[in-house]
């Protein structure tokens, strides 16, 4: 069984999930109380998910696929 996410990896995963679900980067006041390192990890995951999505679209376009862009 895989090791459970904890610490920074947990917040990165939360950011990636929020981006993939189309949620805003900052939703809710509970995140205002997070430590700075947690906010940075969340934003890094959110941005990384966005960049990986762009790379996937570009790769599909070079291979002849189309995503309607």
Distance CA 13, CA 5 (A): 8
Domain count, the chain: 1
Q: What's the confidence (pLDDT) of residue 69?
A: 52
pLDDT of residue 5: 77
pLDDT band at 68 (very low <50, low <70, confident <90, very high): low
Predicted TM-score (pTM) of this structure: 0.63
Nearest 5°: the CA angle 39, 49, 5 is 60
- Residue 49 domain-assigned? yes
- Mean pLDDT rounded to a whole number for the chain: 80
Q: How many residues does the chain have?
A: 69
CB 12 within 8 A of CB 39: no
Distance CA 52, CA 34 (A): 26
The whole domain housing 19 covers 8-23+31-60
Task: Answer whether residue 36 is part of any domain.
Answer: yes
């Amino acid at each position: 069984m895989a090791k459970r996410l904890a610490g920074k990896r947990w917040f990165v995963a939360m950011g990636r999930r929020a981006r993939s679900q189309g949620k805003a980067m900052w939703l809710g006041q509970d995140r205002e109380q997070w430590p700075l390192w947690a906010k940075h990890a969340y934003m890094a995951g959110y941005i990384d998910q966005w960049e990986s999505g762009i790379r996937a679209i570009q790769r599909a376009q070079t291979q002849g696929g189309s995503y309607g862009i």
